[in-house]
Structure 1
Amino acid sequence: MISAVVLAAGTSRRMGRPKPLVKLGRKTILQHVVANLEASQVDQIVVVLGFGAEKIIPTLKGMSCQVVVNPQYILGMSSSIRCGLSAVNPQARAVLIALGDQPYIPPEIVDVLLRRYQKEDQKIVVPLYGGKRGHPVIFGRKYWPELRALKGDVGGRELLHRHAQHVLEVEVGQEGVLADIDTPSDSRKRGL
Structure 2
Amino acid sequence: MATGADAFEAIVLAAGSGARFGGGKLLAPFGDGVLLDGALAAAFAAPVSRVILVTGARGEAVEAAARAYAQRAGEDRLLIVHAEDHAEGMGASLRRAAAELSPGCAGVFVFLGDMPRVPAAVLAPLAAAVRAGAPAAAPVFQGQRGHPALIGASLLPQLATLHGDAGARAILKDLGPRLALVEAADDGVLFDVDTPGDLDAGPYR
Normalising by the residue count of structure 2, what TM-score does the alignment of the two structures yield? 0.86
Match of 1:52 in 2: 58
Amino acid at match of 2:33: K
Shift of 1:147: 2.5
Say whether 1:15 aligns with 2:42. no
Shift of 1:104: 0.4
Amino acid at match of 2:190: L
Unmatched 5+ stretches in structure 2:
1-6
Match of 1:148 in 2: 160
Say whether 1:37 aligns with 2:43. yes
Match of 1:128 in 2: 140
Amino acid at match of 2:29: K
Which of 83, 90, 93 is equivalent to 1:70? 83
Q: Is the 8 A contact 1:2 1:95 kept in 2?
A: yes
Say whether 1:26 aligns with 2:32. yes
Normalising by the residue count of structure 1, what TM-score does the alignment of the two structures yield? 0.92
Unmatched 5+ stretches in structure 1:
none
Structure 1 stretch 87-96 or stretch 8-17: which is displaced more? 87-96
Match of 2:188 in 1: 176
Say whether 1:103 aligns with 2:109. no
1:16-46: per-residue Cα shift (whole Å, max 9, x none)? 1222201212211212211222233222100
Q: Is the 8 A contact 1:50 1:71 kept in 2?
A: yes
In 1, the alpha carbon distance for the partners of 2:180 and 2:43 equals 21
Total equivalences in the alignment: 190
Shift of 1:11: 1.1
In 2, the alpha carbon distance for the partners of 1:96 and 1:133 equals 15
Shift of 1:67: 0.6
In 1, the alpha carbon distance for the partners of 2:26 and 2:56 equals 11
Say whether 1:114 aligns with 2:127. yes
Shift of 1:143: 1.1
